[in-house]
Amino acid sequence: MNITKAVITAAGPDQRTLPLQTLVAHDGVSRSALELIAREAVDAGAEEIAVIVHAKDEDRYAEAAGDVADRIRFLIQPEPRGYGHALACAREFVGDDSFLHLVGDHLTVPASDTPCARQLVEVAKTEACSVSGVRASRESLLPYYGVVGGRPMAGRTDLYRVECVREKPAPTQAEQELAVPGLRAGFYLCFFGMHVLTPAIMELLDDEVSRARPGDSIPLSPSLDALCRREQFFALEIAGERYNIGRTYGTFYAQLALALQGEDREEILAQLIDMLASRHAAPT
């Protein structure tokens, strides 16, 4: 499996402005969230990147793409019909190729020298199948993520065979359908915001689109659930952290994580210690 294409979805009504935010990367250079996400795709081997955008956002996104703009083409989602519909807009771009998929409202910081998307691509190449990034997350985070149920692969502590996918399940449903052997009680495998997918996902999304009524929202999770019954599908627990910049303080947490990973780490830590000390200093 050779992964040379990537698709970034960024057309959702509550997502459109998020990739345009500017953060200071770990090397001290200011970049848009879009550029950071696209650079991660390039680092993982992507030569061509499709960004799914709202019709009025193409110019702003092109300006925000920075030094990876020459690898990007913009595809329009003509109406806001959900995450799955947005990904289906890349059907012609993907063709018969497997591809890396990233979301426009998540930034990642690896726990090692290997970037998160590259971890995912390396496993997908080895296993020659679709692989979704996941993170073991506490039950309180279920309202924010899709969740996979499955079983650990023999000899691995970070790789799972996916048996079902549910979108933002209630705790009772998660306990009944999504408990994974080996995870701590109350923890579930929540999506990390990145996937390597075979072209079969586009066929499944096409089926969803054809069955939907005009204007219906089309999520991605039902097609991923169908994918695990159609062909081999794994989930990789990524060594790193994802930051949803659409949540309250999400951009702040992402910026702090990038700063602590970078060359100014000691200075940032010293500033944080000074701030905390001054807030908790005894009154005079």
Domain CATH for 46: 3.90.550.10
List Cβ neighbours of 143 (8 Å cut-off, separation of 6 or more): 168
Residue 262 predicted with pLDDT over 90: no
User: Per the domain annotation, does 181 fall within a domain?
Assistant: no
User: Per the domain annotation, does 20 fall within a domain?
Assistant: yes
User: Per the domain annotation, does 173 fall within a domain?
Assistant: no
Domain count, the chain: 1
Residue 283 predicted with pLDDT over 70: no
List Cβ neighbours of 232 (8 Å cut-off, separation of 6 or more): 127, 129, 130, 161
User: Per the domain annotation, does 134 fall within a domain?
Assistant: no
Residue 277 predicted with pLDDT over 70: yes
Supply the range of the domain harboring residue 102.
5-127+191-218+235-280
Question: Which is nearest to 84 in space by CA: 192, 184, 216?
Answer: 216
Q: How confident is the model at residue 276 (pLDDT cuts 50, 70, 90)?
A: confident
User: Per the domain annotation, does 53 fall within a domain?
Assistant: yes
pLDDT for 191 equals 97
Does the predicted model carry a pTM greater than 0.85?
Answer: yes
C-alpha span between 66 and 134 (Å, rounded) = 29
- Residue 156 — φ and ψ, nearest 5°? -125, 145
- Buried b vs exposed e over 62-76: b needs ≥16 C-beta within 10 Å? eebbbebeebbebbe
CA angle 10, 220, 191 (to 5 degrees): 80
pLDDT for 15 equals 84
Overall size of the chain counted in residues: 284
User: Per the domain annotation, does 54 fall within a domain?
Assistant: yes
Structural contact between residues 159 and 236, judged by C-beta atoms closer than 8 angstroms? yes
User: Per the domain annotation, does 84 fall within a domain?
Assistant: yes
Q: How confident is the model at residue 94 (pLDDT cuts 50, 70, 90)?
A: very high
Structural contact between residues 163 and 151, judged by C-beta atoms closer than 8 angstroms? yes
User: Per the domain annotation, does 147 fall within a domain?
Assistant: no
